[in-house]
Amino acid sequence: MFQAARRFTLIPALLLCLGAFAAPAEAQPRPPRPQPEAPEAEYDRLFMVGLQALTARNLKVGERVFKRCIKLFPDRAVSYYNLACAYALQGKTSEAVAQIRISFEKGFQDVSHLERDMDLEKIRRAPAFRKAMSDFKEQILQEFDRPLTYLPDKGKKAPILVVIHDQGGKPTSDLMELQEAFPSFAIVMPLGKLDQARNVHVWDGRAEFVITHGLRRFLREEAKRVDANRLFVIGEGAAGRIALQVSAQNPELVTGGVLVAGPGLEVAASDTDLSGLRAYLVVNEQDRREVIGGILARNALAEADCPTVLERYRLPKPFTKDRAVMLRGLSWLQGNQTSLPGSKGSREF
């Protein structure tokens, strides 16, 4: 064994000697160092990981991930909110409420969502959570005016139109036109936040709470003059999605149905219980994305066995540009025999 060993040790030495006369070997490039992930990309990736962790109830993972999201972008309110959900699901009430308050300060002020989010169910009755909700609502209502209203002359209880103005709307002039067109209806026009620089009203994530709060107050105050069993919600443009969301989430209020037009209807019709809703949807047939959104919304309503019409119209803002569309939709919602559009001008799916 010793000899065999000596024989094999001589071969490498010989090769080394011969290598001295050979051409020098080319240097091999080093593999590139992995580049650090951009903060935005890292945030997006971690955010999805966090959502998946909450869904799977891997709560410690979700907690850790959303803390990292906050560290990356401290001003993004939704990260604090999702961290609050991770705490709430673990029954950590004080930690959850603290994060909810921070998320509200950072801009997540959709208190209607807070009130129905099942991730917060464990802490919903806690005094700290109820106090936070009371504080949030009080602060929001200080920033919004009461709805504009119109009541017809005394007589029978009037059916109610709740008309949600579009972004940048001028509701005072809109109300005057509507009361001329629908003199037998009580009209409620909730007001978005006033943009004083432009003197227009706009909606944000607080829309559902502001609209439903104002509407409930109106129904209490005018109970003897209005018929709460015939209440219809109308909205077009960006307000179409808001109107459908309000109607889907508050079926006890929207007893007559909803008449909406515009983009994003599929968003309002997703992940919610639509049962019991009656809906007339209108989309701009020139806008493919709007048409697809309308089809998806109609399908969701149909799956919930909701009476639904989806109409394609040739122009955006059909209720403003063609009062006949609003009259037709409202007639159908009231259960009247209505001639739905054919091939001229607009058509029904």
Strands of the sheet containing 148-150, edge to edge, are 148-150, 186-189, 158-164, 226-236, 257-261, 279-284, 308-313, 347-348
Half-sphere exposure of 243 (CA within 13 A, CB side): 32
Average pLDDT over residues 170-183: 90
- Residue 318 buriedness (CB in 10 A; 0-12 / 13-18 / 19+): buried
Among residues 155, 310, 162, 138, the alpha carbon closest in space to that of 247 is found at 162
What are the structure tokens assigned to 213, written together? 């709060």
What number of residues does the chain have? 349
Average pLDDT over residues 45-63: 96
Amino acid identity, position 96:
A
Binned at pLDDT 50, 70 and 90, residue 300 comes out as: very high
More confident residue, 22 or 327: 327
The pLDDT assigned to 341 comes to 75
Binned at pLDDT 50, 70 and 90, residue 52 comes out as: very high
**pLDDT tops 50 at residue 210:** yes
Among residues 337, 235, 230, the alpha carbon closest in space to that of 280 is found at 235
The pLDDT assigned to 19 comes to 47
Give the dihedral of Cα atoms 242, 246, 248, 253; nearest 10 deg.
Answer: -150
Average pLDDT over residues 247-269: 95
What are the structure tokens assigned to 309, written together? 């019409």
**pLDDT tops 70 at residue 34:** no
Radius of gyration of the chain measured on its C-alpha atoms: 30
Q: Where are the domains of the chain?
A: 39-142, 148-348
**pLDDT tops 60 at residue 201:** yes
Architecture of domain 148-348: 3-Layer(aba) Sandwich (3.40)
Question: For the chain, what percentages of helix, strand and coil (3-state, to nearest 5) are there?
Answer: 50, 15, 35
Strand partners, 312: 283, 347
**Cα dist from 46 to 49, 61, 92, 337, whole Å:** 5, 11, 22, 53
**Cα dist from 264 to 46, 239, 284, 307, 324, whole Å:** 27, 10, 12, 20, 23
Q: For the domain covering 39-142, report its CATH number.
A: 1.25.40.10
**pLDDT tops 60 at residue 62:** yes
Q: What is the DSSP string of 17-71?
A: HHHTTSPPPPPPPPPPPPPPPPHHHHHHHHHHHHHHHHHTT-HHHHHHHHHHHHH
| 84: region left, alpha or beta (phi > 0 left; psi from -120 to 50 alpha) | alpha
Q: What is the pLDDT of residues 129-171, one digit of tens each?
A: 999 999 999 999 999 999 999 999 888 899 999 999 999 878 8
For the four alpha carbons of 48, 52, 53 and 54, in that order, the dihedral sign comes to: positive
**pLDDT tops 90 at residue 206:** yes
Q: What is the pLDDT of residues 89-100, one digit of tens each?
A: 999 999 999 999
Distance CA 54, CA 57 (A): 5
Among residues 162, 163, 151, the alpha carbon closest in space to that of 223 is found at 151
Distance CA 328, CA 97 (A): 47
The number of helix segments (H) and strand segments (E) in the chain equals 14, 10
Mean model confidence pLDDT for the chain? 88
Among residues 189, 192, 248, 181, the alpha carbon closest in space to that of 215 is found at 189
Calculate what percentage of the chain has a pLDDT beyond 90.
Answer: 75
What are the structure tokens assigned to 308, written together? 């639904």
